[in-house]
Structure formats: structure tokens, C-alpha cells
Amino acid sequence: MNMQVLDARRDMSGGYKVDVRRGERVGRVSSEWFSRPDDERYLSLSDLAHTVRERSERSRTRVVESALIHVEANRADPERLSLLLPGADAPVAPTHWSFGQLASLVGAPAAYLRQLPAALAGINLQYGLTSHRAEQVKTLELEGGRVELRAVTGPDYGRIHDYELVEAVQRIAGNGTGDTRWKVPGVLDWSTGIYNPRVDITKDTTTLYASDRDVFLFLVDDLNPIEAGRLPDGSPDLYFRGFYVWNSEVGARTLGMASFYLRAVCQNRNLWGVEDFEEITIRHSKYAASRFAHEAAPALLNFADSSPMPFVNGIKAARERIVAKSDEDRTDFLRRRGFSRAESGKIIDAVLAEEGRPPESIFDFVQGITAIARDKPHQDARLEMEGKAKKLLDRAA
């Protein structure tokens, strides 16, 4: 990496000039950012870790016979149900989420039950529990002012606690605020094309989230840009490494992580210029904890410590591999890879508009494909086209 070039690429604020017209746009982080209320936003990993660990320390899990669960309806509060579990001294109060899980497990429509008076809903739920064919359920109960039922799952549910994932991230990212190379991202200035990695971490800018149902964390290594080739004007094409992870210890979603290279993050937390996107997910099945220990946690550590050179060399190889020198070559190249004549024309035009010349290399075609994919209104069509672009790039490397 030529640090003199990168220094020249900086503006006076310490930001970096980037070209976000290239690569994919990924909106997953933005969706999280839009949907989180202030009480689910954290300013550091240590604060978030403390919250989810303390919650787990006050929780307990057990497997009970579903037929022995007794549903109680409070006549003084007809909207409220409670459950008396076998061996418990006091009833537990289901959350909105766990009530839905319990209803689903016994084959009762939760939305319908919620519309009924408590006594009638209790009768229906009790019948479902008594005739539950699986016979057992696993509960997650939280001790507090009263015992709260946070989750009800099948007996083989393999719970990975939220704090386990957060602490795995802490091992590579510290506090997530800049004490290591991994931190909450900066922001792109659309008016200048400058990505500024140094932005104050506030409730509005943070990408560290936790609710009573899940955790979601997004961090970048945006103080250490990676040069992978040149832009049409001769300046370096800069990337940063990034990853996000997610989990739900109550069964609301799988555990997963995504790693990638990106060129910028905007104010709405959309990821721009994404390349080399990789994702793994782990269902909370019987052996989920073992898979987390042997797959997800090491994968996160490997990505954090890995050299960017395979990525850089792959981009370089794609730039150098010329596959078309005429209009006929370009159309044939795309048609042989499953693109229609209309799509092929749009891809070629996209490269011509952005690069000032028609596509010649594998990299040119990949950029044209992802540019067209960004405009696809339906996610399935967009993902299919982005998958073709990634397959093409992988073969070039």
C-alpha cells in the first residue's frame, strides 16, 4: 500500500475521497438504524455487553411438560394471562413475544387469541397445551420484580446467549469506539464524496443495538483504507473492511455474521460500494452452541486478523483480465452468462456512463452488473444479479 498516495487522497478533515458508484449497496444496517428506538441504541460495546450479560445472569432455562402448565386468567385484569409452571412458586407473565411463541408451539393462532377476553383465550391455550404432541417445551424466565417468561421454544432449542456474541466481538473490537482498529463507522458527505471516519458516537450515529429480543452490531476498520486499483482519474480506489453480526437468544432470529469490503457508510447507515460480501448463519438447533464456538467465533477472529491482500489481488486480477474488445464480444460475454439482450445493453451502457469507455475487463463487467442491480426494485431480482457479479469476480481471482 502506498501511504503517500493515501495521504494525498485525504482532505483537510482527515476524510477520504471515495467512489460509491461502484460495488453493491447493502441496506441491512440502515433498516436496523431506522427501526431502533433510543433505548435500544448503545454508545459502546461495554455498555451493551453489561446490559445483555446482566439480563442473562437473571434468567434461567428449564424443560417442562407442556400438559402440566396451568393457564390463569386474572378477573381483575381481563387482558392479562399468567402461566403457572410445574415446580414454580409463583406464576410467570409471558411477554408479547413469548405468548406468540407458546401459541405457535401448540398450534393456536396468537393474533386471534389476543383479541379474545383473557378467560376465553386461557381456555383455548390450556386446551392446546394439554394436547401438545411434542409434550415438552423449554422456557427462558427472567427474574425481576415479577418472573417474566421471555421465550418458549422446543426442548432441543440450542440457545446462544446474546452476551456470548457481544463478548466475541469485544475480543477483537474492544469498546467499539476506537480503542482498537474496529469502531462505529463515520459518515459520507454526499456533496464532496468525502468519507469522514471520525464522527462523534451519539444515539443517532451509533450502530450498536440491543433489545429484549435481539442484538445487532456493525463495526468498520475505516481508519486504515485499502487501495485496490485505480479510478478512471488515476486516483486510488479505496476500501475499508467491515462486518455486522446479529443474534436472538429468544428465538426471534438466527445467529449470523457478514463480512465485506466497503467504500463508505452514509448518514442513514446504508453501506455503499460493497465488494466481497460473505455471510454465515447458524440456526438455534441442538448443536448451535458448538457451531458458534467452532465456526462463527473463529470466522470473526480470522476476518479481523486477515490480510487484505487476497482481496486486493482478486480485484487486480479482475481488472487485468480482458475478456471483450468489441461490441459483439461484450454482448456475447454477457449473454453466455445468462443476461438477456436488454440487460446486456444496460450493463454496457452503465459502464460507459461511469467509466467513459465500454467494458473490457472482468472488473468492468462486474461493476456494470452491480450498477444495474442497485436499480432493481425487487430484492430477489437484485440478489440474483449481484450473485452473478460475485460469481464472475470469484472466477477471475
Reported as a single tens digit per residue, the pLDDT across 103-120 is 888 888 888 888 888 888
Residue 43 shares a structural domain with residue 65: no
Chain segment 141-154, per-residue pLDDT in tens: 998 778 899 999 98
Residues 14 and 115 in one domain: no
Between the alpha carbon of residue 96 and those of residues 61, 76, 103, the distances in Å are: 18, 20, 11
Q: For residue 87, give the 3-state DSSP assignment.
A: coil
Do both 191 and 288 map to the same domain?
yes
CA 13 to chain centre: 30
Q: How far apart are CA 19 and CA 272, in angstroms?
A: 9
The predicted model scores a pTM of 0.85
What whole-number distance in Å separates Cα of residue 225 and Cα of residue 304? 14
State whether 244 and 259 are in the same domain.
yes
Collapsing DSSP to helix, strand or coil, 293 comes out as helix
CA neighbours closer than 13 Å in the CB half-sphere of residue 233: 8
| Domain annotation covers residue 136 | yes
Q: Is 339 helix (H, G, I), strand (E, B) or coil?
A: coil
Same domain, 179 and 295: yes
Q: Are 187 and 195 in contact (CB under 8 A)?
A: yes
Phi, psi of 106 (to 5 degrees): -100, 10
Cα 207 to Cα 33: distance, rounded to the nearest angstrom: 7
* Predicted confidence (pLDDT) at residue 357 exceeds the cutoff of 60: yes
Give the model confidence (pLDDT) of 321-334 as tens digits. Answer: 899 898 889 899 99
Indicate the residue type of 6. Answer: L
- The range of the structural domain enclosing residue 377 comes to 317-396
| Same domain, yes or no: 195 and 48 | yes
**Helices 162-173, 297-305: crossing angle, 10 deg rounding:** 20
Q: Are 111 and 121 in contact (CB under 8 A)?
A: no
Residues 221 and 245 in one domain: yes
Determine the Cα–Cα distance for residues 327 and 312; give it in Å rounded to an integer. Answer: 29
Does 47 lie in the same domain as 78? no
Domain boundary among 306, 336, 366: 306
For 124, the 3-state DSSP assignment is helix
Task: Establish if 312 belongs to a structural domain.
Answer: no
For residue 44, which of 222, 208, 267, 220 has the smallest C-alpha distance? 208
Last residue of a domain, one of 142, 171, 201: 142
Please give the pLDDT value at position 75: 62
Which residue, of 251, 281, 306, is where some domain finishes? 306
pLDDT in tens, 41-50: 999 999 999 9
Whether residues 253 and 366 fall in one domain? no
Cα-Cα end-to-end distance for the chain: 19
pLDDT at site 350: 87
Residue 329 is assigned to a structural domain of this protein: yes
Q: Using the CB atoms, write b or e for 50-78: b if 16+ within 10 Å.
A: ebbbebbeebebeebebeebebebeeeee
- For residues 233 and 364, membership in a common domain is answered with no
Cell numbers that stand for 195 in this block: 468519507
pLDDT band at 371 (very low <50, low <70, confident <90, very high): confident
Are both 43 and 121 inside the same structural domain? no
- Structural domain includes residue 36: yes
DSSP SS3 for 106? coil
pLDDT, averaged across the chain: 87
> Given pLDDT bands bounded at 50, 70 and 90, which one contains residue 310?
confident
Please give the angle made by the CA atoms of 219, 224 and 229, to the nearest 5 degrees. 110
Q: How confident is the model at residue 9 (pLDDT cuts 50, 70, 90)?
A: low
- CA 112, 114, 117, 122 torsion: positive or negative? positive
| Distance in angstroms (rounded) separating the CA atoms of residues 250 and 150 | 7
Q: Which amino acid, one-letter code, is at 148?
A: E
pLDDT at position 144: 73
Strand-pairing partners, residue 2, are none
- Is 322 part of any domain? yes
What is the tally of structural domains in the chain? 3
Listed residue (374, 275, 381) closest to 338, CA to CA? 381
Q: Which amino acid is at 7?
A: D
Decide if 152 is inside a domain: no
Rounded Cα distance between 64 and 84, Å, is 11
Residue 75 placed within a domain: yes
Same domain, 277 and 328: no
Q: How far apart are CA 392 and CA 397, in angstroms?
A: 9
In a domain, 380, yes or no: yes
Give the C-alpha separation, 252 to 262, whole Å: 28
Angle at 164 between CA 149 and CA 218, to 5 degrees: 105
